[in-house]
Each structure stands twice: as C-alpha cells, then as structure tokens.
Amino acid sequence: MTKGKNISIWFFIGVLLLIYGVLILTSGLLSPTPTNLVLAELQAPIWWGILLLALGGTYTFLFFPRR
C-alpha cells in the first residue's frame, strides 16, 4: 500500500462554489431582467454570483493541496 496525502473536503467545496458562481453570474449577465418582479433592479443573480465566486476562490486558495 502506498501512503497518500489527504485532500481537505473544503477544497472541493470551494471548487463547487466557484463553478456555481460562474454559472449564476453568467446567467445573471446574459438573461434579461423581468420587469414584473419586486426589487428586480437589484440584480440578485449578479450579486450572488460575485459572492459565490469570492467564497469559492477563498476556500480554493486556503485549502489548495500543497506538496
């Protein structure tokens, strides 16, 4: 048996948050905003995408498996 290095689960969570952030931000930027929604001018998908990108980038950077 070989000894392997353990990879933190938070690294994978960070990668998932990055992927979700890119998807949500892209959909928020490319899709037209419906005008019949309450508070539609706040552009919630754009802000959530930015938040998820920031959190995912932080987790990925902090828990990146180093040699």
DSSP string, 41-65: GG-HHHHHHHHHHHHHHHHHHHTPP
Rounded distance, CA 47 to CA 11, Å? 23
Domain boundaries, the chain: 9-32+43-62
Compute the distance between CA of residue 44 and CA of residue 63 in angstroms, rounded to an integer: 28
pLDDT at 67: 61
Q: Which of 5, 32, 63 is nearest to 18 (CA)?
A: 63
Q: What is the pLDDT of residue 8?
A: 92
pLDDT tens for the chain, 67 residues long, are 567 778 899 999 999 999 999 999 999 999 887 778 888 888 999 999 999 999 999 999 999 998 6
